[in-house]
Amino acid sequence: MHVAARYILTLALLLLSGVAAAQTDPLPSWKDGVVKARILAFVQAVTQPGGKHYVAPADRIAVFDNDGTLWSEQPMYFQLAFAIDRSKAMVTENPELAGNSVLKAAATNDMKALAASGEKGLLELVALTHAGNTTEEFAAIVRDWLATARHPKSGRPYTELVFQPMLELLAYLRANGFQTWIVSGGGVEFLRVFAEEVYGVPSQQVIGSSVKTKYELRNGKPVIVRLREIDFIDDKAGKPVGINKFMGKRPIAAFGNSDGDFQMLEWTTAGPGARLGVIVHHDDADREYAYDRASHFGRLDRGLGEAGERNWMVVSMRNDWRRVYPEERK
Amino acid sequence: MHVAARYILTLALLLLSGVAAAQTDPLPSWKDGVVKARILAFVQAVTQPGGKHYVAPADRIAVFDNDGTLWSEQPMYFQLAFAIDRSKAMVTENPELAGNSVLKAAATNDMKALAASGEKGLLELVALTHAGNTTEEFAAIVRDWLATARHPKSGRPYTELVFQPMLELLAYLRANGFQTWIVSGGGVEFLRVFAEEVYGVPSQQVIGSSVKTKYELRNGKPVIVRLREIDFIDDKAGKPVGINKFMGKRPIAAFGNSDGDFQMLEWTTAGPGARLGVIVHHDDADREYAYDRASHFGRLDRGLGEAGERNWMVVSMRNDWRRVYPEERK
């Protein structure tokens, strides 16, 4: 071979191997270290045919909390921001609704009154702002809100405040034959509006809290109506219940960030074989938020205390993540 | 080319094309005719890239009732046979349980008393025989029963009384990128024990009736306990509600056999684009059973009357199916 040709070939091979090396890092936003190494080792173990910890694709299920795990949850749960905006729109359209104290508090940004109404008040707010319409009408309202609402601190659309390292993790798991599921305390029909587009998670793999619904005919056309009655709260001990109800299987990997995810992590990691339990710790006030034991939203106390003895991994957003959010869309 | 060689080559090609033609009938147990042609045309239409009726794989969802659609339901629902056998076992083990009139009626084959107890009595029977244990204990009980119980007329295991043409249809749809789901009035945790092995439908694609459950720790080990309280009845108008609850999408094809499937068929076929609604009509007393409007189990009255105007297809088991059940396993 001509010397110049050989040189060019060598160069090409080097370039190609460089590309290959870059391609083999499926988690570029995760810094190298113990956390990333353990995630990679877990996936390697359960996908190795004939290996001691091999898991068939049908049982390769990973569950993710949403608020605080896949996207931010400060200064308040994004769905609460939706409920407040929705209250304003409803009261503007129909002023007599301000006779309801919870709707009034939300519509006037009276957070003290809203907090004072307690869990009962918040459930009432959800029932009033999230129900009484058909599933298709509700989805359209959520879609419109997501398109126009902006996060107060960053000014970005809420669906851009998702965690880039977690998007990579979802894609990496799916590329390795996992089914990725969302198991959220948030409303299932709120989540399903954007889960497929934003996370690549189809609506049939989203579990969440729900209101009761009713099938009926309207002008001869069948609709499903959202009733003002809570059907299921997918939080704390409700998470394993929801997982069992919807999939009838125990996941092998669980990702959460608050004590609302404790039982989901406990249930997942108590199964036999290789298991992965991960808690995202919000310790990055510069790039996101820093909070844990004392936070009103996404309180993390027991999980932080018991992660070590339970062999759950705690992810430091500050130290383990190269970046937090994806690039802004133009 | 040598003449003999050419002859052999031609013969080989003919044989190969013969094999190919045989392989292209994905529904060998369905007789050629309108029903089979319409199923094939529907699948062709929704899978044709760029076609007017193309549906992306993520939305290519087909739902199947179970009792009477995928397996037989005479002389009684198979799960009722399970409840009766379970009553006998429970009363044998703990004779004072015969103090309960419903359990006693079931345990002594007193079908008149059982029928007289009405829907309330049947729900009580389900609560007593299907709950009070953990999900894992219940699954083991069902598994043992399926392994040993025999159908009274045929003497075969219940899981062999599945319809061969429907097994082919499930496989054919999946080969064309469909997700196949079961949407049954039967108990979801009963069905999930065998749905994957018998139908190739994973547990996370099974929707059914359910009892409430509770997450708790037993000796430090997390379990999910089945409570004696009905959570959801997946029948009639409950079927579209269950579909929306579990998958948040509207299927494009629905298969049923009784009026309990009416709303599922209505909901599915009311959507836009190509839709397929199919009713299996039990008109084959020789090979299976013949019943419709007057049957206690799997009553089909309204569906039969309105199938024509609604453009739902009625499958005649006698005329459209070459065979009913798979070969007996030895």
- What ipTM was estimated for this complex? 0.91
Per-residue pLDDT tens digits for B296-330: 899 999 999 999 999 999 999 999 999 999 998 76
Give the nearest chain A residue to B240 (CA atoms): A215
Per-residue pLDDT tens digits for B222-269: 999 999 999 999 999 999 999 999 999 999 999 999 999 999 999 999
Q: Which of B213, B230, B236, B245 to mutate to test the interface with A (most CBs of A within 10 A)?
A: B245
Q: pTM higher than 0.90, yes or no?
A: yes
**How far does the CA of residue B322 sit from the closest CA of chain A (Å)?**
33
The span from the CA of A234 to the CA of A66, in Å, is: 12
B214 interface with A at CB cutoff 8 Å: yes
Q: Measuring CA to CA, how many Å separate A140 from each of A97, A122, A135, A157, A160?
A: 22, 22, 9, 17, 19
A6 interface with B at CB cutoff 8 Å: no
Lowest mean pLDDT among A11-25, A141-155, A192-206, A235-249: A11-25
The pLDDT of residue B10: 55
For chain B, the farthest-separated pair of C-alpha atoms sits apart, in whole angstroms, at 89
A242 interface with B at CB cutoff 8 Å: no
Task: Tell me the average pLDDT across B63-89.
Answer: 97
The pLDDT of residue A216: 98
B217 touches B224 (CB < 8 A): no
Any idea what DSSP says for residue A270? T
Which residues, at least 6 apart from B231, have a Cβ–Cβ distance to it below 8 Å? Answer: A245, B210, B211, B212, B213
B215 interface with A at CB cutoff 8 Å: yes
A254 interface with B at CB cutoff 8 Å: no
The pLDDT of residue B328: 84
B303 touches B259 (CB < 8 A): yes
The pLDDT of residue A24: 82
Per-residue pLDDT tens digits for B166-195: 999 999 999 999 999 999 999 999 999 999
Q: Are strands B221-232 and B206-218 parallel, antiparallel or unpaired?
A: antiparallel
B324 touches B164 (CB < 8 A): yes
Is the pLDDT at A266 greater than 60? The verdict is yes
The pLDDT of residue B79: 97
Cα B318 vs. chain centroid, distance in angstroms? 19
Quote the mean pLDDT of chain B.
93
Task: Tell me the average pLDDT across A224-238.
Answer: 96
pLDDT level of residue B8 (50, 70, 90 thresholds): low
Nearest CB to B237; choose among A210, A215, A263? A215
B222 interface with A at CB cutoff 8 Å: yes
Outline where DSSP puts E strands in chain B.
Answer: 61-64, 179-187, 206-218, 221-232, 253-256, 276-281, 313-316
Chain B, 97-156: which have a CB under 8 Å from a chain A CB? 135
Taken as a whole, chain B contains a residue count of 330
Residue carrying structure tokens 């945790």: B189
Is the pLDDT at A330 greater than 90? The verdict is no
Contacts of A216 in chain B (CB under 8 A): 237
Per-residue pLDDT tens digits for A113-131: 988 998 889 889 988 999 9
Task: Tell me the average pLDDT across A92-110.
Answer: 95
Q: Are strands A206-218 and A221-232 parallel, antiparallel or unpaired?
A: antiparallel
Q: Specify the amino acid at residue B282.
A: H
Cis peptide before A251 (omega within 30 of 0): no
Give the H/E segment covering residue A122. helix A118-130
The span from the CA of B143 to the CA of B260, in Å, is: 26
B246 interface with A at CB cutoff 8 Å: yes
Task: Tell me the average pLDDT across B13-32.
Answer: 71
B238 touches B245 (CB < 8 A): no
What are B264's two structure tokens?
A: 């599922």
Nearest CB to A266; choose among B192, B222, B245? B222
With an 8 Å Cβ cutoff, are B204 and A179 in contact? yes
With an 8 Å Cβ cutoff, are A192 and B248 in contact? yes
With an 8 Å Cβ cutoff, are B214 and A241 in contact? yes
The dihedral formed by the CA atoms of B293, B296, B300 and B305, expressed in degrees to the nearest 10:
30
Residue carrying structure tokens 């070939």: A9
Which percentage of chain A shows pLDDT scores above 70?
93
B241 interface with A at CB cutoff 8 Å: yes
The pLDDT of residue B278: 98
CB pairs under 8 A between A and B: 83
Q: Measuring CA to CA, how many Å separate B31 from each of B21, B162, B314?
A: 16, 18, 14
With an 8 Å Cβ cutoff, are A189 and B248 in contact? yes
Is the pLDDT at B137 greater than 70? The verdict is yes
A246 interface with B at CB cutoff 8 Å: yes
pLDDT level of residue B7 (50, 70, 90 thresholds): low
Nearest CB to A247; choose among B203, B231, B245? B203
What are A246's two structure tokens?
A: 């919807």
**How far does the CA of residue B240 sit from the closest CA of chain A (Å)?**
7
The pLDDT of residue B247: 97
Quote the mean pLDDT of chain A.
93
Of the candidates A217, A216, A194, A214, the one whose C-alpha atom is nearest the C-alpha of residue A206 is A194
With an 8 Å Cβ cutoff, are A192 and B135 in contact? no
Give the nearest chain A residue to B239 (CA atoms): A215
Taken as a whole, chain A contains a residue count of 330
With an 8 Å Cβ cutoff, are B192 and A248 in contact? yes
With an 8 Å Cβ cutoff, are A210 and B245 in contact? yes
The span from the CA of A224 to the CA of A209, in Å, is: 17
The pLDDT of residue B2: 60
With an 8 Å Cβ cutoff, are B203 and A270 in contact? no
With an 8 Å Cβ cutoff, are A249 and B203 in contact? yes
With an 8 Å Cβ cutoff, are A263 and B222 in contact? yes
pLDDT level of residue B24 (50, 70, 90 thresholds): confident
Cis peptide before A75 (omega within 30 of 0): yes
Contacts of B245 in chain A (CB under 8 A): 188, 210, 213, 231
